[in-house]
A and B are shown apart, each in its own frame.
Chain A
Amino acid sequence: MSGTNLDRRGFLTKSSVAFAGLSIAPGMILFDLAQAHPLGDAVSSKVRWGMLIDSSKCESGCTDCVTACNTENGLSGGVKATDSQWIRKVELKDLRTGRTTFLPMLCQHCEQPPCVDVCPTAASFKRADGIVLVDKHLCIGCRYCMMACPYKARSFVHENLTDQKTDVPRGKGTVESCTLCVHRVDKGQNTACADACSKAGHNAILFGNLNDPESEIAKRIRAVATTQIRADLGLNPGIQYEGI
């Protein structure tokens, strides 16, 4: 028996060496593919995408982030109650001092999202990297999530749509909201609103990985006082603000 086992062990050792030798070449090919397509892997919870929005840099009258979002995602740009709005520019006025500040308001990509809690079909979900999305294949359009969201971030598509963007499928009868430009983020790009804000020279929106202590956003959050809107709800939003 022991002889058989030794043989077996010897076989395993040899075969594993052989396998390792074989796997080097395919491994290298796989690495090359991984460089060319960084999209092949599942997202992991080692990353938590978030934003830091500096409202003191958010200029009065500029709506570049809203326009960029509409263009990127194929939204109409209308502001009727029945139009989809994924990001809104909000004016805040302190009645005591008269100080006015502006900030973009969007899905806050909560760590504990109420929209996910209430969804009866599990269409509303949080990706491992913290992005809260609607799987429209599962959404039945009940709109519970819209009622549950304390930020009024979600919209319902009331009408048939045409000419959707290839990367951003949208359709009648489903709920939608800011996807944190998931199709761009998966390609390693910034969100459209953050890009538009820096292009306009304001740099009010800083997008990045909250979990990486070396990322610009994590350093900034360590250095300055930041606010989560409705922090009392304990949802730990990924979108954070400073200067409000």
Chain B
Amino acid sequence: MRKVHMNLLKHQRDETVHEGIRGKKYSLAGCVDCHASVKDNNVLGSNEHFCQGCHVYAAVKLDCFECHSSKRKVTAEVSK
């Protein structure tokens, strides 16, 4: 997953944008939905956040979230 997650996303990206195929297995919103922090519903913010942490460690530029939302869409009610 670490190696190919960008390919999984890109594979369906063009189908979604150009052909309107939505609701398939992989989507960026789907990644964020699960991997966002329970504290602030975000995958970015600090090196403890899911996407940012790894990308900082690997020194790979992360530009998805310059356009896409890095926050969970429906703010989950954290029952804590």
Contacts and interface: CB of A to CB of B under 8 A. Distances in A.
Q: Do A and B come from one complex?
A: yes
Interface residues of B, number: 19
A137 interface: yes
A169 interface: yes
A133 B23 contact: no
Interface string B1-29: 00000000000011101111111100001
Given A166-B69, A171-B66, A171-B67, A40 B23 contact: yes
Interface stretch (A15-23, A124-132, A197-205): A124-132
A43 interface: yes
A186 interface: yes
Contacts of B18: 125, 127, 135
B66 A182 contact: no
Contacts of A42: 15, 19-21
Nearest to A36: B23
Contacts of A40: 21-24
Contact of A39 (B22, B69, B71): B22
A222 interface: no
Contacts, number: 60
Interface string A32-46: 000001011111000
Interface in A162-193: 163-167, 169-172, 174, 182, 186
A206 to B, nearest CB: 22
Contacts of B14: 135, 137
B13 to A, nearest CB: 7
B50 to A, nearest CB: 16
Interface of A: 37, 39-43, 125, 127-129, 133, 135-137, 160-161, 163-167, 169-172, 174, 182, 186
Given A40-B23, A163-B69, A166-B73, 20 more contacts: A37-B22, A37-B23, A39-B22, A43-B19, A127-B19, A129-B20, A137-B13, A137-B14, A137-B17, A164-B67, A164-B68, A166-B32, A166-B68, A166-B69, A169-B67, A169-B69, A171-B66, A172-B66, A186-B20, A186-B22
